[in-house]
Chain A
Amino acid sequence: MNLEELKKLKEKAQRQVALREGNKKYRVVVSMGTSGIAAGARDVMKTMLDEIEKRGLDDVEVRVTGEHGLEDVEPVIRIEEAGGEETTYARLDAEKAKKIVAEHLGKGKKVENLAVGKQKKTE
């Protein structure tokens, strides 16, 4: 083992434990209430998980939550950013989810046509 090898091993291993340390740039919150699940929220989440992995996006965590209170437009996700910005996406399916991963999480660009409501700044 030398320093370079240790560094490489650390980078590889870090993904295993990073979830436990918090401080991710993006937090994706998937609404998994009864209506969300019925509308296909699990599929949306699975697609997102696969896409995030495929693209090697390390600075993202995915959580599930109960209802967002937007039953009519499920599946719904919310993306929270470290700076406090929040974006809600609604009426999602696998294809749209892929796009959000690529654009929003990958390039930091909001997918405006899928976003709903006014984006909110929380402190």
Chain B
Amino acid sequence: MSLFGFHYRLERKAIGLTLAIILVASIGGLVEIAPLFTIHQTVEDAPDMRVYTPLELAGRNIYIREGCYACHSQMIRTLRDEVDRYGPYSLAVESKYDHPMLWGSKRTGPDLARIGEKYSDQWHVAHMNNPRDVVPVSVMPAYGWLLTTELRTDDLGLHLKAMRRVGVPYTDDMIANAAVDAYAQSNPDSPLADGVTKRYGKATTLRAFDGQPGRLTEMDAMVAYLQVLGRLTDAATKSTARAEAGQ
């Protein structure tokens, strides 16, 4: 009756099948994926690469929350028409701080890998508020509430800490000041603004992204994120320039 008595042999067959399935199925993935974890040995690094500021990270999380990745890719393939349309093709290093990556699999709307600073803040705000105000035939939903919803900042430190645990080099200083930096990045005139530049570098953009200084909305975060896409490092433009010079 019991598992190990009379039916021991039959049981062995089921376990054998189980093990065989696990073995046959898992080896393929292991052998193929493992080398990718040593890839940093061959891919050139981007020493100028900076991490997302707390405000940009918050924007990225809104991008994820709203499911923007369902319609927009962030991966320019190595094809001539894509490079002509969207800019230099995407490099592996460019998404090394992207947990998770947002390469996407469908372009219901255009690629966004290099959308940063291609349009003005005002354009983005108008577009997010109602896409059809600026692109009449667009099928993108309107995200008007971003402009009126206050951005939640009290837990941003936790976000940065979790990102550090998965390998992104946030410093203690950055984590401690996360909420303040988020506010300051969208209030360039505030005395706290210097801290952002100090911690994240001079190239960091400080602006009232949503056009309402003094108020920190989800729109600020979203536009700050969109404006930094493709601009965390200029490794891609450099490598394209090098390729062209080499020809």
Say whether A and B bind each other: no
Chain B residues within CB distance 8 Å of chain A: none
The chain A residues found within 8 Å of chain B, CB to CB, are none
